[in-house]
Amino acid sequence: MIQPPLQKGSTIRTIAGGVCLASSLVVLPAGFIQMVQALENGGYATGGTTFALWWLAAGGGLLGMGIALLIWEMSVRYDIRH
């Protein structure tokens, strides 16, 4: 029996997923450092805490988007459907 060829994946999707993952590895520690500094300087009611939460949210978003893009790419490339 002849197997259908594997579908060609998107190089741009793979690169975008890798960039999102790599940048999340930079943004998340920066957010944690900002949070520690904000908590040391005055606690939860300061503007620094809001700034740190934005950093952490951006890092989490980048991490989620990177993982989603790479899972999408692998499912297209290897024709995984459930």
pLDDT tens digits, residue range 42-67? 877 778 899 999 999 999 999 999 99
- pLDDT tens per residue across span 4-37: 656 678 899 999 999 999 999 999 999 999 999 9
Helices (H), the chain: 11-41, 47-77
| 43/70 Cα distance (integer angstroms) | 38
Flag whether 59 is in a domain. yes
CB atoms within 10 A of CB 50: 11
Flag whether 56 is in a domain. yes
pTM, rounded to two decimals: 0.84
CA distances, 2 to each of 5, 53, 80, 82 (Å): 9, 53, 18, 22
Flag whether 71 is in a domain. yes
Number of structural domains in the chain: 1
Q: Which domain holds residue 69?
A: 11-77
Flag whether 73 is in a domain. yes
Flag whether 62 is in a domain. yes
Flag whether 1 is in a domain. no
Backbone phi, psi, residue 50, to 5° = -60, -45
